[in-house]
Chain A
Amino acid sequence: MSAIMEVSGLNAWFGAAQAVKEINLSFEKNTVTAIIGPSGCGKSTFIRCLNRLHEEVPDARAIGRVLLEGDDIYGRGVDPVAIRRKIGMVFQKPNPFPSLSVFDNVAVGLRLGGLRRASILKEAVERSLTLSALWDEVKDKLNAPGTSLSGGQQQRLCIARALAVEPSILLMDEPTSALDPISTAKIEELVTELKKAVTIVMVTHNMQQAARISDKTAFFLLGDMVEYGETSRIFTAPKDSRTERYITGRFG
């Protein structure tokens, strides 16, 4: 097993408040890593540091080393725009572009990259939609606005949009928190399927979800990473008492 992304000494702030403290963590290829913890524990901030989206918030900053396939994305002269193409992201709320059709929502990343050939785009869109298990549902309404789909479909559309540019790693920030149970189940199923193609890091506040679909789990508390390990072990034999209290539902 090789690590596709290695995080070391990562710290992040909002203004003067430190949200993420000295995180060291690595993600292995074709695994699902779940980041769990109570709200405000810095798990969302952490994952947003992994594609340098955190620094887009006014007054926010982050320092540390994040190696993606050996290259430090926080290295000197590295442009966040360039590295974000290799790191897909799916957000809490489904956010397809309202002015774009289903097709265009998926194709948009490639178009930005200068890809114009209709045949290539069509192929790529179908591949991504198939990968995100949406193709059969939308193949007849590719020209409908992306926002006309149901919530769960919209979220899978956003997954397809992220996959279209063929990222090395897919970050998911509580991707099911705005969805109903059936749509959630579909996304979970999809995630276990997707890890064959891409490495996934997923923030979730839902411990059952983490237990169901992840291979590794990291538990965050107040900006610290308290414990990290095989999901099965974290949920059965946590080493840290705080982890134990959290997974047994005693706080957060």
Chain B
Amino acid sequence: MKRHFADYLFRSYRKRKAVNSTMYLVLIVATLIALVPLFSIFGYVLAQGAPALNKSFFLELPKPVGEAGGGMANAILGTVTLVFLASLLGVPWGIATGLYLSEYGRGRLASVVRFCADMLASIPSIIIGLFVYALVVMTMKRFSALAGGLALGILMIPTVARSSEEMLKLVPQHIREAGLALGLPRWKVTLMIVLKGIRGPIVTGVMLSVARASGETAPLLFTAFNNRFWQGRLDQPISSLPVQIYTYAISPYDDWHRQAWAGALILVLLVFAMNLITRVVLAPKARKS
């Protein structure tokens, strides 16, 4: 081929190589910068939180201001209670929605449902708190564990729905067809073959959203509120780990700050463990499809 600008193109080559290397560096540095907060948070939570994690942290009630010691036992139990209540609402509702979307999710209603689930997932969680406040707290005229559980439960629905739908879609179509070919009605195939076969991953997805829900603070502020004591009744305000961390963090007391870090350590370890487990459980399945 006759060459018109061979020399010219050759001259610019060095510059292009330099730009290429520079951009590589820029992209790597960008990734590292994005991860600096993660390592910083991990480091601080460990360094500040671990020393404060002792027996009394898990077993004792908060001490009044000025007295050293005490723990977050009631807040830990409170979070467990709230998350349990939330799961009662969020898990069945979420899984049923996911089931509907994966098995019958083609029509107009399905796209409306998908849109609503997306919107619900992206609404700021504090709005859910306000909603439950207006719906329950204003009616009952008091903060309560029930209200808090309701708020967290609503938050769980879209995440459980989405993860269940994704997991269900991993079940190959031929497995459904095999069931249908046996003459089983579709609902039996769905419940007994499809859902059963993918039980493990769905449970993992649910656990992940439980872990996320247990770190939520904003929707609890004016639903479950807070409580310095043990609370056995569900129609009374109840404390929770994240709200307690928040309260302690903005307080002026060093001892409370230490406890806030300790609480944060627990939350971080929880989500970290759940995310890791999810990875391990789901990775091979996702790759196969």
**In the complex, A touching B (Cβ < 8 A):** yes
What residues of chain A have their CB less than 8 Å away from a CB belonging to chain B? 79, 81-82, 85, 110, 112-115, 120, 124, 163, 165-168, 197-198
Q: A168-B1, A198-B1 are in contact. Are A114 and B6 (CB under 8 A)?
A: no
Query: Which A residue's beta carbon lies closest to that of B2?
Result: A166
- With A115-B8, A115-B9: A166-B17 Cβ-Cβ less than 8 Å: no
Residues in A whose Cβ lies below 8 Å from that of B1? 163, 166-168, 197-198
Q: B55 on the interface (CB 8 Å rule)? A: no
Complex Cα distance, B18 from A79, in Å, reads 13
B39 at the interface (CB under 8 A from A): no
Taking the complex as formed, is B4 at the interface, i.e. its CB lies under 8 A from any CB of chain A?
yes
Shortest Cβ distance from A124 into B: residue: B4
Query: Which of B3, B4, B16, B20 gathers the greatest number of chain A CB atoms within 10 Å?
Result: B4
Cβ of B20 to closest chain A Cβ, rounded Å: 8
List residues of chain B with CB within 8 A of the CB of A197.
1-2
A199: nearest chain-B partner, CB-CB: B1
A166 in contact with B15 given A85-B9, A113-B9, A114-B9 (CB within 8 Å): no
CA distance A114 to B235 in the complex (A): 72
A110 CB contact (under 8 Å) in B9, B11, B15, B20:
B9
- 6 sampled A-B residue pairs with Cβ under 8 A: A82-B13, A85-B9, A113-B16, A114-B12, A114-B16, A124-B5
Asked if residues A113 and B12 are in contact (CB atoms below 8 Å), the reply is yes
Chain B positions 16-41 with a Cβ under 8 Å from a chain A Cβ:
16-17, 20
Contact A112 B16 (CB under 8 A): yes
Which A-chain residue is minimally distant from B20 (CB atoms)?
A: A81
Question: Beyond A79-B17, A113-B9, A166-B2: 18 further Cβ-contacts under 8 Å?
Answer: A81-B16, A81-B20, A82-B13, A85-B9, A110-B9, A112-B16, A114-B8, A114-B9, A114-B11, A114-B12, A114-B16, A115-B5, A115-B8, A115-B9, A124-B5, A166-B5, A166-B6, A168-B1
Chain A residue at smallest Cβ distance from B3: A166
Q: How far is the CA of A198 from the CA of B3 in the complex (A)?
A: 11
Q: Closest B-chain residue to A168, C-beta based?
A: B1
How far is it, in angstroms, between the C-alpha of A112 and the C-alpha of B3 when the chains are bound? 17
Look across to chain A and name the residue whose beta carbon is closest to the beta carbon of B12.
A114
Contacts between the two chains (Cβ within 8 Å), count: 40
Q: In whole angstroms, how far apart are the Cα atoms of A110 and B8 in the complex?
A: 10
Q: Residues of B contacting A166 with CB < 8 Å?
A: 1-6
Contact between A114 and B15, CB atoms less than 8 A apart: yes
CA distance A120 to B8 in the complex (A): 12
Residue among A82, A114, A115 having the largest count of chain B Cβ atoms under 10 Å: A114
CB neighbours of B3 from chain A (8 A) = 166
Chain B residue at minimal CB-CB distance from A170? B1
Docked CA distance A168–B3 (Å): 9
Q: Which residues of A contact B8 (CB under 8 A)?
A: 113-115
Among B4, B9, B11, B17, max chain A CB count under 10 A is at B9
Instruction: Kindly list chain A residues whose C-beta atoms are within 8 Å of the C-beta of B15.
Output: 114
When C-beta atoms are compared, the residue in chain A nearest to B5 turns out to be: A115
Of A79, A163, A165, A198, the residue contacting B9 (CB under 8 A) is A165
Most chain A CB within 10 A, of B3, B5, B13, B20, is at B5
A82 to B10, CA, bound (A): 8
**Residues of chain B lying within 8 A (CB to CB) of residue A81:** 16-17, 20
A120 to B4, CA, bound (A): 10
Give the distance to chain A from B116, nearest Cβ to Cβ, in Å. 32
Across the interface, which residues of A come within 8 angstroms of B5, CB to CB?
110, 113, 115, 120, 124, 166
Residues of B within 8 A of A113 (CB): 5, 8-9, 12-13, 16
A88-B48 Cα distance, complex, nearest whole Å? 60
- Residues from chain B with a CB closer than 8 A to the CB of A115 are 5, 8-9
- B20: which A residues are within 8 A, CB to CB? 81
Q: How far is the CA of A115 from the CA of B3 in the complex (A)?
A: 14
Leading 10 A-B pairs by shortest Cβ distance: A114-B12, A113-B9, A166-B1, A198-B1, A197-B1, A113-B12, A166-B3, A82-B13, A115-B8, A115-B5
Residue of B nearest to A30 (CB): B1
Set of chain B residues within 8 Å of A110, measured between Cβ atoms:
5, 9
- Most chain-B Cβ atoms within 10 A of its Cβ — which of A79, A85, A113? A113
| A115 and B8 alpha carbons, distance in the complex (Å) | 8
